[in-house]
Amino acid sequence: MKVKLLTTISFLTYQLSISQTEKLLHGKVVYQNSVIKDVEVINKTAKTSTKTNDSGEFSILVKAQDSLLFFSKDYYFTRLKLKAKDIETNKITVNMVIKPEELDDVVITQVKFQKVEFDREAVNKIYVDKQSRDLSSYTGVNNGTIRNPAQISFPLGGGKPKKRYEIDERFKKMATAYCPPDFFRNNLKLNEEQKQLFLEFCDADPKSKTLIDHPNVLSIMDFLYTKNEEFKKLE
């Protein structure tokens, strides 16, 4: 009995020491069995970071329950919650998902349009038929229709064009690009309709403009987490 008790206490002490002591974790970041270099690996809990080398490998100090973030501009952001067994294994593989490629310009060549046939006699026939049904030209009585409606115009806006305002959606695009869809659904607990309202709510905060000038995945996530708590209180 004493032996079992001592064994249990030793095991718990060992587990506690693992969870409280930082260890150097080694890992590799890949996409479909191809290594990815220059991926930013961030320990969100310890506020430290590193990058993968040409072989997609990285090393970073961690402890159990730390949150690791993996960010690259060409791939969706990935988050990993470390467990004790991950640290014991000391060799993890992280699979990232590539973003769809966006085309800046689309060039269209040799566009052929079908020739529109114009039948002058058919047009004249329609015009004559319309005039024959218009009794106002003969009786002077208006039947309620507007004659030559194409010649009537109404001035709008007092004759002066109104100033057009462009909507600044840079923050919304940046937040969507830096964070995958499941981040809003799983981490922030927002459905698609709530996500759009939430991004507009964040865009109204002046701090969002500073993030546009100096984008950083860790700063963006902290900002979204903070604004999400405020957003939930408004519902």
Higher pLDDT among residues 219 and 35, named by residue: 35
Range with the poorest average pLDDT among 54-58, 119-123, 134-138: 134-138
The strand pairing partners of 58, in sequence order, are 27
Whether residue 68 contacts residue 82, with contact meaning beta carbons closer than 8 Å, is answered with yes
The reported pLDDT for the residue numbered 154 is 45
Q: Quick one: pLDDT band at residue 147, thresholds 50, 70, 90?
A: low
As to burial, measured by CB atoms within 10 angstroms (0-12 exposed, 13-18 middle, 19+ buried), residue 62 is buried
Q: Averaged over 141-167, what is the pLDDT?
A: 51
Give the pairing of strands 40-43 and 34-35: unpaired
What is the domain partition of the chain in residue ranges?
Answer: 2-95, 170-234
For the chain, give the number of residues: 235
Phi and psi at 8, nearest 5°, equal -65, -45
pLDDT at 30 over 90: yes
Dihedral, 165, 166, 169, 170 alpha carbons, nearest 10: -120
Alpha-helical (H) ranges within the chain are 2-20, 84-89, 120-133, 136-139, 170-178, 181-182, 192-203, 207-213, 217-234
pLDDT in tens, 82-126: 888 888 888 899 999 888 765 555 565 665 656 656 566 766 777
Q: Quick one: pLDDT band at residue 136, thresholds 50, 70, 90?
A: low
Q: Quick one: pLDDT band at residue 152, thresholds 50, 70, 90?
A: very low
Q: Averaged over 28-43, what is the pLDDT?
A: 92
CA 86, distance to chain mean position in Å, is: 30
**pTM, entire model:** 0.42
The reported pLDDT for the residue numbered 140 is 53
Residues 6+ apart with CB under 8 A from 136: 142, 143, 147
Q: pLDDT averaged over the chain?
A: 76
CATH code for the structural domain at 2-95:
2.60.40.1120
The reported pLDDT for the residue numbered 116 is 55
Whether residue 29 contacts residue 52, with contact meaning beta carbons closer than 8 Å, is answered with yes
